[in-house]
Amino acid sequence: MTSKIEHTVIIGGSSGIGLATAKKLLGPGMKVTITGRNQDKLVGAWKSLGGAADKAAFDASRPDEVRQFFARLGPFDHLVLAASGGKGLGPFETLDLADIAGGVDEKVRPQLSCLQAALPTLNKSGSVTFISAVSAQVTMPGVAGIGAVNGMLLTVTPILAVELKPLRVNVVAPGVIDTPWWDFLPEEQRRAVFAEYAGKTPVGRIGRAEDVASAIAFLVSNGFMTGQVLTCDGGLRFAA
């Protein structure tokens, strides 16, 4: 008897959490397609996977490109939405409120637009996993904007789990994870920020992309999980 090979598409699979998820999921029973905008980065990621994944370069914030990608792809089983955004960070008093709309455009709309375009070809027995952030769950000063953006994905998850049933819809909320997302900070400042967060985090360290990949793989593979927020933050949300 031959067992079915499933197919996971990872939007934002060329770096960080998405790439670690591709590494985790790839295997005899799972085909993986990774996507990203930057072709060179995508090829580098594909090589790091030993050429074992499929790859496609397109911008998930452009609805036409999204529609074309899913129309070409054909039927598949699982969708992981790891495309990033970083707007909305900073003290509320001086926060440029346009950054909240910018954060939605960079992260929320692309994730929702990919899911919408995928629905006709996404296996109803499969799953969708959004990637939000713990910024939507903490009370730390400076995250009101980015938390508001990420909170939208926490809100839609249980609604879509019911509306799109039996498709399973879950969301992972990562804490501070050492990925290229933080490259906007100079090296020394980044190390200082990581050390500060490690000190605040109950497990005593910041996260690795592999930590979050394990949480995503659990939601992809467990057929009884839906409508759930899985926070993967080392306990950071309980920090004062």
Ligand X SMILES: NC(=O)c1ccc[n+]([C@@H]2O[C@H](COP(=O)([O-])OP(=O)(O)OC[C@H]3O[C@@H](n4cnc5c(N)ncnc54)[C@H](OP(=O)(O)O)[C@@H]3O)[C@@H](O)[C@H]2O)c1
Residue 131, interface with ligand X (CB under 6 A)?
yes
The residue number whose beta carbon is nearest to ligand X equals: 16
- Rule CB under 6 A: choose which of 145, 147, 174, 234 binds ligand X: 174
- Rule CB under 6 A: choose which of 46, 69, 76, 181 binds ligand X: 181
Q: Which two tokens stand for residue 213?
A: 């990949």
Could you count the other beta carbons within 10 Å of the beta carbon of residue 122?
23
Residue 60, interface with ligand X (CB under 6 A)?
yes
Distance CA 218, CA 27 (A): 15
What minimum distance in Å lies between the beta carbon of 114 and ligand X?
Answer: 9
What minimum distance in Å lies between the beta carbon of 2 and ligand X?
Answer: 33
Residue 18, interface with ligand X (CB under 6 A)?
yes
Amino acid letter for position 232: C
Residue 33, interface with ligand X (CB under 6 A)?
no
Residue 236 CB partners (closer than 8 Å, separation 6+) = 134, 138, 175, 176, 197, 200, 201, 202
- Strands 30-36, 54-57: pairing is parallel
Q: Which two tokens stand for residue 230?
A: 């899985």
Given a contact cutoff of 8 angstroms between Cβ atoms, the answer to whether 210 and 22 are in contact is no
What minimum distance in Å lies between the beta carbon of 163 and ligand X?
Answer: 22
Beta carbon nearer to ligand X, 5 or 203: 203
Residue 137, interface with ligand X (CB under 6 A)?
no
Question: In the block, which residue shows the tokens 């770096």?
Answer: 15
Binding site for ligand X (CB under 6 A): 11-18, 35-38, 41, 59-61, 82-85, 107, 110, 131, 133, 174, 176-177, 179-181
